[in-house]
């Protein structure tokens, strides 16, 4: 049985760039398209109260295969371009649900 996988991605920028990135991801429709992908269980941005220059993405998937399909999609190119546009650094944490 596949375990669900949760990924935390911390995007950090300067002068509000991380929040601007999350806003553009949402307003462009990319977030809705990712949420509609097969195997996506959740995709949401959060703002840490103590760090206004960081945005946390909590991304949840049904399986590694679903993540692999997402990473092969054209959306990944668009996300990478936006990340570059806003000069963001990334830190990733990955968790697997217990069976």
User: For 45-68, what is the mean pLDDT?
Assistant: 96
According to the model, what pLDDT value does residue 2 have? 62
The beta-strand segments (E) located in the chain are 5-12, 40-46, 54-61, 89-96
pTM for this model (two decimals): 0.92
Q: Quickly state the pLDDT bin for 1 (edges 50, 70, 90).
A: low
How many Cβ atoms are within 10 Å of 44's Cβ, its own excluded?
Answer: 13
The domain locations on the chain are: 5-96
Q: Please state which CATH class domain 5-96 belongs to.
A: alpha beta
């Amino acid at each position: 049985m596949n375990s669900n996988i949760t990924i935390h991605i911390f995007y950090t920028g300067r002068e509000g760039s991380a929040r601007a990135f999350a806003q553009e991801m949402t307003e462009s429709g990319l977030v809705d398209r990712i949420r509609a992908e097969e195997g996506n269980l959740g995709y949401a941005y959060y703002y840490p109260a103590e760090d206004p220059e960081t945005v946390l993405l909590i991304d949840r998937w049904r399986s590694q295969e679903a993540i692999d399909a997402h990473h092969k999609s054209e959306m990944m190119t668009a996300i990478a371009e936006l990340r570059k546009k806003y000069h963001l650094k990334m830190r990733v944490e990955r968790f697997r649900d217990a069976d």
